[in-house]
Amino acid sequence: MQPLQRYRPYIVTSLVWIIILGLYVLYDRWPRPEAIVIETPAPTSVPTPRQIVIQIVGAVKTPGVYHLTSGARAEQAVLAAGGLLPDAAMTFNQAALLSDGQLIYVPREGETPPPESSSPQVSTGTAGTSNAIVNINTATEEQLEALPCIGPALAQRIIDYRETNGSFRALEELDLVKGIGPACIEQIKNLVTVE
């Protein structure tokens, strides 16, 4: 027994180190949970809708110039202007699509719109039946084609003339565009302006 007593501290120390080593190996091999990585998505850019500028006058609470989203309807222009007055005539198409630079005239009950405009100035998009006053200095090819006696070729000639010579100063200057004569000008004189 004596010799065993002599080595007892070495045996205990060795056993302690064996236990520590075993615990370390056990700890090192113990399965650990996967690290959770939270990735925040990069912000995506939302395209800004194109704006159009219209003017609304007549029987609305706040006549003026308004910026609307492209694709807006006449009803949205009326809402932007604070709504209709009680005596507004409900004879116009509030569902009509608006275009940039358009003037909308809302008449009162029993009122005849001024000759230079109509009720309201909202294009229907069908040739010869448009209620819009078309500004020949800013009109698109499609707007010009909606006028009586103006087809695609004449609409393009008007735009080409405008780009080459500048804005028309009077309706009669349309006669300078090849293919447009006094008869055509007579047909469209109440449907166009040269503002």
CATH number, residue 138: 1.10.150.320
5/117 Cα distance (integer angstroms): 121
In the block, tokens 């028309």 appear at 168
Q: Let me know if residue 35 belongs to a domain.
A: no
With 70 as the cut, is the pLDDT of residue 41 above it?
yes
- Confidence (pLDDT) at 82: 92
With 80 as the cut, is the pLDDT of residue 143 above it?
yes
- Confidence (pLDDT) at 48: 67
Q: Are strands 51-58 and 192-193 parallel, antiparallel or unpaired?
A: unpaired
Mark whether 88 and 129 lie in a shared domain.
Answer: yes
Bigger pLDDT: 89 vs 67: 67
Mark whether 96 and 24 lie in a shared domain.
Answer: no
Handedness of CA 49, 50, 53, 54 (dihedral sign): negative
Number of domains in the chain: 2
Q: What is the pLDDT of residues 165-179, one digit of tens each?
A: 888 888 888 888 888
Q: Let me know if residue 73 belongs to a domain.
A: yes
Tell me the mean pLDDT in the region 78-85: 91
Q: Let me know if residue 40 belongs to a domain.
A: no
3-state secondary structure of 193: strand
With 80 as the cut, is the pLDDT of residue 5 above it?
no
- Residue 4's domain spans which residues? 1-30
- Confidence (pLDDT) at 125: 37
- Taking phi first (over 0 means left), then psi (-120 to 50 degrees means alpha), and beta for anything else, what does residue 56 get? beta
Mark whether 6 and 90 lie in a shared domain.
Answer: no
Mark whether 21 and 64 lie in a shared domain.
Answer: no
Mark whether 81 and 175 lie in a shared domain.
Answer: yes
Mark whether 20 and 64 lie in a shared domain.
Answer: no
Q: Let me know if residue 39 belongs to a domain.
A: no
Confidence category of residue 122, pLDDT binned at 50, 70, 90: very low
C-beta of residue 106 within 8 angstroms of C-beta of residue 54: no
Mark whether 5 and 101 lie in a shared domain.
Answer: no
Tell me the mean pLDDT in the region 44-72: 82
| pTM of the predicted model over 0.85 | no
Confidence category of residue 87, pLDDT binned at 50, 70, 90: confident
